[in-house]
Amino acid sequence: MQEVNSDNFTQEVINSDKPVLVDFWGPQCAPCLALMPQVESLELTHGEKVKVVKVDASKNRRLCLELRVLGLPTYLLYKNGESVGRLTGGNLKIQEIEELLKKAF
């Protein structure tokens, strides 16, 4: 899973020719770390149709504020440069993230 930051967010997410699932996580966020292997597997499963990237919120605070990412984990789905879906919360399940991804197809 590619690491994205405020420097390359526009290039990798907004300007992507494929839909992009953005995983906002933090090194101290247990739910983030628990879900990460499953989220990474989404890229293997759906890599032809969607790009999966991650943003370390602890290193990209300004970007998080700009995108109103106030809690972790947060997953944003972008299609054609626009945000088309958002999930937030420590009790998220991979099935909910997969449902969000369906909006991209």
92: which 2 tokens? 């998220």
> Which of 32, 53, 64, 100 does the annotation list as catalytic?
32
What CA–CA distances, in Å, run from 7 to 3, 65, 74, 91, 94?
A: 11, 15, 19, 30, 28
Contacts of 61 (CB under 8 A, 6+ apart): none
> Which of 29, 35, 42, 57 does the annotation list as catalytic?
29
> Is 29 an annotated catalytic residue?
yes
> Is 64 an annotated catalytic residue?
no
Q: Which residues are catalytic?
A: 29, 32
